[in-house]
Amino acid sequence: MPLTTRTSLWLRPAQVEVEQADSLYQIRKERGGISGLKNGSFFVLKNIDLKEIKNLTYRYAVSEPGVQIEVHTGSPGGPLLSTLSYTPSESADAYAEASTPVKTSSGIHDLYFVFVRKEDNASKNSGALDWVRFGR
């Protein structure tokens, strides 16, 4: 009887709907994204190849200043690849888009998208996120 093996490769699209993240921490999953984003909340996208990725674009709704998203590799406190300070959208329900550069990194990584609120009320809800797009 011959020996056989089978390998599968799952490719993600360049634009990832964040409600399809591999893991969520202190975040509410909604039909069209995630919400309830607080200081220290994060989501994880596993096994992402960053070869030739130069920027990230986010579709978000944030009504107040002082909110950032940081992208780390390996863990929420791992090496920092990217940071975006959100410019408030028109309201908590109005979505905007913003892009930020990514530090050059080769190989496949688990990416931790960590929300940081720089104001005194760090536990306050910091809006919603619909998708993230990986750009060249």
Q: What is the domain-level CATH number for residue 47? A: 2.60.120.260
- The pLDDT assigned to 38 comes to 86
The pLDDT of residue 134 is above 90? yes
pLDDT bucket at 56, cuts 50 / 70 / 90: very high
> Whole domain around residue 31: which residue ranges?
18-135
Q: What is the mean pLDDT of the chain?
A: 87
Q: Is residue 5 part of a domain?
A: no
Count of structural domains within the chain: 1
SS3 call for 18: helix
pLDDT bucket at 78, cuts 50 / 70 / 90: very high
Q: How far is CA 133 from CA 67, 99, 119, 125, in A?
A: 19, 9, 27, 23
pLDDT bucket at 91, cuts 50 / 70 / 90: confident
Q: Is residue 8 part of a domain?
A: no
DSSP annotation string for 13-79: PSEEEGGG-SEEES-EEETTEEE---TT-EEEEEEEE-TT--EEEEEEE-SSS-EEEEEEESSTTS-
Q: Is residue 39 part of a domain?
A: yes
Lowest mean pLDDT of 41-45, 79-83, 117-121, name the range.
117-121
Q: Is residue 130 part of a domain?
A: yes
Q: Is residue 115 part of a domain?
A: yes
Q: What is the DSSP letter of 20?
A: G
- The pLDDT assigned to 124 comes to 64
Q: Is residue 13 part of a domain?
A: no
**For residue 47, which amino acid is it?**
N
Q: Is residue 2 part of a domain?
A: no
**Residue-wise pLDDT tens digits, 35-45:** 888 899 999 99
Q: Is residue 7 part of a domain?
A: no
